[in-house]
Chains A and B, each alone.
Chain A
């Protein structure tokens, strides 16, 4: 395994992770694609037993281990289907919302907003009391 491949895998993982952390679904889809390629490279680079190509006539063993390639081929197909589905989701979100930003949980937002408004009301009430008590004095 060459050093260059290791660096490439690292870069793919890092870029994929960075893109996954974005708010826009399109960027997330791209991130998943990059990350999936990183994983595929990882499998190919770490687990391939080097040798001559199998099946081809006249080649002598040791053959290259075909199993990692079979694994990666399956993984690529699955990754392709997932990317297609996610792109469809992003499109649907865009037609409904006009943007493709991933939102927080709606229920959580409502709870948070309720808490904030309660807090504001408390603060306002307290300030009102302060103002009442200091009407003739310096500004509150």
Chain B
């Protein structure tokens, strides 16, 4: 088990080094796929291992004792997020190759993409806070480069906001980690729960809030969300899909760890308000937009609200719903951005008044948008309904009527803005005009459509296999609500 846990981090990093050395584009693709496949296989092995029994997989690099070694820990939540992330990264890489855009041909695209993969994997597996900080930096550094890869006017301008805000976040996170180390003498997440619980309440709250602000900036929760709609839309669609699906979720992962492992239930009320405002602000922002990429970017924010709501409720059922929501949300959100990428590639535009009639051109393509869009809004047969239903049921159990009302209203508004995209892009006359032989969309973008279709099939899979998957999530919630399971697993190994 030891070596397997390190593979999702090491394989992409080695791949990144190799792709820097070999700049031939075919060779780079082969190396990238090999590296990510190794990650994927080890992620599958880890997930299977963790889900058989409620075991938590632990690996101490170099075989040092627990308080000295760099510890990698995979409980159910981490293993699941790892598996989903790596699968998404593979699919989006296929999409980027199919897109044939300028950025994928850039010789640094593949190395940076692989570093991003390593950073995300490390963030989920990190067993101590400082390692988590380093993982964030690895991931963010790669994301800065991907976001500004073209070096165009617009990308640089929005890149500046993104980079400065995230550097500020990094410094806050480092301050929090440093102060936690000063207060307790350790950064290991297996030793912190007991030591933090022994601190005076003022110090505890201060450290907790500092961590929450740092992770909150990354997760784009209210009132720290403003950088996201400015920066995400200017990146190429394949990059935005990864950012939307994974980067904000790493921030959410940080919030979940802070609130369940380090400071259990400390700021529940605050988080509940944050969740409510995040949902509302995100969806209202989306309603005001008239461009598909910007609408989707605002919806990232609003969906984060639902996930934070589950964390704030904090019961076992709510945490299970949160984990299930993450499982549903990552592929759905990413596939919407992939569909947007196909539209952009085909028509060159995603403004509503410049594009139209896509459903007339290809019914199947319209279906590719419709499934994740309805799923995002929470319409019954799709995964979004199950995720929202379980979350709301957890809210009923806790008698949180206000937040339930807000959550339902927001999902209605989500449906409205999805309908807005549908009316704007898929209905009406075909715009811009195309020659008769080029009416079909799928034929011209086979690899892009195929990879989007695989991802959407994955979201349908989440809906059809909901029962066993939900049981897995309940197991994950059990581990989250009993921090001692985590602590014992790391110490006992």
Contact = CB atoms under 8 A, between A and B. Distances in A.
Interface in B83-109: none
B431 interface: no
A93 B177 CA distance: 33
A93 B137 CA distance: 23
Contacts of A67: 181
Interface stretch (A35-43, A52-60, A118-126, A128-136): A35-43
The A interface, classified by DSSP as helix, strand, loop or mixed, is helix
Given A42-B178, A74-B134, A85 B157 contact: no
A71 B129 CA distance: 11
Contacts of B157: 93, 103, 106
Interface residues of A, number: 33
A46 interface: yes
Interface string B120-135: 0000000000100010
A103 B161 CA distance: 9
B447 interface: no
Contacts of A75: 174
B414 to A, nearest CB: 21
A10 B158 CA distance: 31
**Most central of B144, B171, B181 by chain A CB within 10 Å:** B171
B148 A89 contact: yes
B182 interface: yes
12 contacts: A32-B168, A42-B175, A43-B174, A43-B181, A43-B182, A46-B182, A47-B181, A71-B187, A82-B141, A89-B159, A102-B160, A106-B154
Given A20-B168, A75-B174, A106-B154, 20 more contacts: A39-B171, A42-B175, A47-B181, A47-B185, A67-B181, A68-B178, A71-B181, A71-B187, A78-B137, A78-B141, A85-B141, A86-B167, A89-B148, A89-B163, A92-B156, A93-B157, A93-B160, A105-B230, A107-B230, A108-B230
Interface of B: 130, 134, 137, 141, 144-145, 148, 151, 153-154, 156-161, 163-164, 167-168, 170-171, 174-175, 177-179, 181-182, 185, 187, 229-230, 288, 294
